[in-house]
Amino acid sequence: MDHRIDPELLAVLPYLPTVDIAEPAAFRAAQRARAQPLQRPAGLLVEDRVVAGGVPVRIYTPTAAVEAAGAGGALGVLVWFHGGGFVFGDMDSTDGSCVATALEVGCVVVNVEYRLAPEDPFPAGFDDAWAALRWVAEHAASIGADAGRIAVGGVSAGGGLAAALALRARDEGGPALVYQVLDTAVLDDRLDTPSMREFDATPLWSRPQAELSWRYYLAGAEASAYAAPARAEDVAGLAPAYITANEFDPLRDEAIEYAVRLIRAGVPVELHHRPGTFHGSNAIPSADVSRRALEDIRRALRAAFRVG
C-alpha cells in the first residue's frame, strides 16, 4: 500500500502518532500533551460559551465579513463537530480548521464539544449535537448569523454526527439546513464494506480501532439511524451534501455508498474520492492533496451560503 500513498503524505508517515483507543483516557491525555498552542489571527472574534443547558461551544466570527454585510446583515453559520471516533477530540483539536473556515468562507463557525464514549455512550454526544444545533437556530441573530443559512459539518465521527443531525432535522421539520459537510464520516456500525474489511493496518485509523469505537459508542445497544446514519431507510429530502472519501481509509466505502444513496434519492451531492490519501490525511497541511481537499470544502460552503 505504501507505494500508492501520495508522495507528500508518505514523507510524513514516520512522524504521525499511533491511534490506539484501547485505553481512552490515556490516549486523550497523550493527545493533549502533543497539542500545540492555539493561534488567534487578526480579523476574527472568538468566544467560548456554554449553551443549551451545558454544551460547550466556541464561536468564530470573521470581522471583515461582518463589516461587508453591513448594518443588519447576517452571515451563514456552520455548526461543526470534531473527529475522534466518538472517543477523543475536543474543541481545541479542531480549532485551527474552524479558524480557517471562518476567515476563508466568511461565515460564523460554531465549534461544538460533545460528550464522549465510553463514559457517555450514544445518545449523549448526539443529544449534545442536537441541542447545540437547535440553540444556533434559535439564537442565530445574537451571534450575527442568519437562521436561514445554517449548515452542519464534521470530520470522521463529527461527520457522522452531522449526517445524523441532517436526518433528525428532516424528520422533525427543522431546523432547516442549507448544507451538510461529511468529511470522511463515520456512518455505518456494521463494518462490512470492502474497505472496512481490507484496511486493518492503515495509518491513523483502521478496522480494529473502528471496532473499538463502535463498541464504546453503542455500549451494547442496537444502532439507530441517528447513531449510524447508513442505517436510515429513507434519505430523501435531506440537505444538500458535500462528501469526501479517502482511498486508504476503512471508512471509504460507507461514505461513497451513502453519497450514492443520497444521489438516487434526489439529494444534491458533491462527492470527492481522493487517491493516495488515508483517514486524517486531509489535515496534513504540507501535502497539496490535503490543501486542495480543504479548499474544495470551503469553496462548496461559500456556494451554499452564497458568499463571493
Catalytic residues: 156, 249, 279
For residue 124, give the C-alpha cell.
Answer: 449523549
Write the DSSP assignment of 198-253 as a string of letters.
H-SS-SS--HHHHHHHHHHHHTTPPP-TTTSGGG-S--TTPPPEEEEEEEE-TTHH
The per-type count for the chain, helices as H runs and strands as E runs, is: 10, 8
CB 5 within 8 A of CB 278: yes
Residue labelled with grid coordinates 453591513: 70
CA–CA separation, 283 vs 295, rounded Å? 12
Provide the Cα torsion 93, 99, 101, 102; round to 10°: 140
CA–CA separation, 150 vs 177, rounded Å? 5
Residue labelled with grid coordinates 500545540: 36
For residue 2, give the C-alpha cell.
Answer: 505504501
The residues, ordered by sequence, that sit 6+ positions from 267 with a Cβ below 8 Å of its Cβ are 235, 236, 237, 238, 239, 240, 241
